[in-house]
Homo-oligomer: A and B are copies of this chain.
Amino acid sequence: MEKIGVIIYGCGVMGRKIAHTVYSKKSFEIRGAVDTAPALVGKDLGELFPDKKKIGIIIGKDAEKVLSDKKAQAAVVATTSYLKDVASQIILCIKAGLNVISTCEELSFPWRSEPEEAAQIDRLAKEKGVTVTGTGINPGFLMDMLPLVLTAPCLEVSRVRVVRMMDSSKRRIPFQKKVGTGLTQKEFHEKIERKEITGHVGLLESIYMIAEGLGWDLDEAVEASPIPVLDERDVDTGLGRIRSGKVIGLSSTASGRIKGKEVIKLEFNAHAAVDEEYDEIYITGTPDIHQKIIGGVHGDIGAAAVTINSIPKVLHAASGLKTMKDLPPCAAIS
């Protein structure tokens, strides 16, 4: 079997995690790596792996050069969450004739939030005969693809509700900071105002994907401002013991409505007082479906896995900008 040649575009936390797994799978071969961070440029990509070793792939600064020099089929773009920032990178990949799989949250369903960028990417991808898909664990799987799949046994569906319950104290430190751990309530709200705390990027994209998959024409999709979570007790976190009264994480919600009725509800909880981690889906319909992933799905591993496992599906799809629901479902690659 011929290996799928992959270029890693973005060698941060997620990019290097993806790269390490891609490197370990027989079906792939890493052919190049791009990053603009001075600390990374010129380094061997393998030095960023947990087992630090040379693999002969030097991280280049000049994306255009790396993308056109190296013979590959796909670029994994793991740079930022916002399509406005990542669109030019994706376009470089398309112009180099590469299929694109990106962890950019907004790319998971960009037609509503960034319609111009989405249309441009779709048009260019079709011209060059390549496919572009944004994916990850959430958005891309747990709060959109999986609930849609679970409506398959329903004759009718009237409401979809998804709840994620994550113990943030088990996650990496930057994530614990991102959810406001250790802040006062005042600091939390100030950071919300300065958009330094954003809740969870992608909730609206998940709502749009569910709605389109079910053929629902929403009148409204709104994301509420994240709510700080407090606890009566002191709570241990990766940032030390947090005194009662200070923030230990957040809860983010978003809703889709038709004629004022809430038909989609997504609830993302990440804090340090979670007793039981889980991912839960409630479908109201004929019949009702109530499913739970007991213990939840590890976010970082899941995000890397969904991204990698999507590569062959994206390569074999019709050209253009596709979302996860447009592709045959990806499964773990041996």
* B287:A298 contact, CB within 8 angstroms: yes
Query: Which residue on chain B has the smallest CB distance to residue A330?
Result: B152
Q: For A326, what are the chain B residues with a Cβ–Cβ distance below 8 Å?
A: 328
* A149:B149 contact, CB within 8 angstroms: yes
Chain B nearest Cβ from A16, distance in angstroms: 14
Chain B nearest Cβ from A131, distance in angstroms: 13
Chain B nearest Cβ from A317, distance in angstroms: 9
Pick out which of these stretches binds chain B: A41-49, A211-219, A242-250: A211-219
Stoichiometry (number of copies): 2
Q: Within A114-165, which residues are at the interface with B (CB < 8 Å)?
A: 137, 141-142, 145-146, 148-157
Pick out which of these stretches binds chain B: A171-179, A267-275, A299-307: A299-307
* B148:A152 contact, CB within 8 angstroms: no
Q: For A332, what are the chain B residues with a Cβ–Cβ distance below 8 Å?
A: 151-152, 154-157, 214, 285
Q: CA–CA, A213 to B331, complex, Å?
A: 6
From B154, B292, B305, B310, give the contact of A154 (CB < 8 A): B305
Chain A contacts to B: CB under 8 angstroms: 21, 137, 141-142, 145-146, 148-157, 213-216, 285-295, 297-298, 301-302, 304-306, 308-310, 325-334
18 of the cross-chain contacts (CB-CB < 8 Å) are: A148-B331, A151-B309, A152-B305, A152-B329, A152-B330, A153-B298, A153-B306, A155-B304, A213-B331, A214-B331, A214-B332, A286-B301, A288-B295, A289-B293, A290-B294, A291-B292, A292-B294, A325-B328
Q: Which 9 A-B pairs have the closest CB atoms?
A: A153-B302, A151-B332, A154-B332, A215-B334, A157-B332, A148-B331, A213-B331, A291-B293, A290-B294
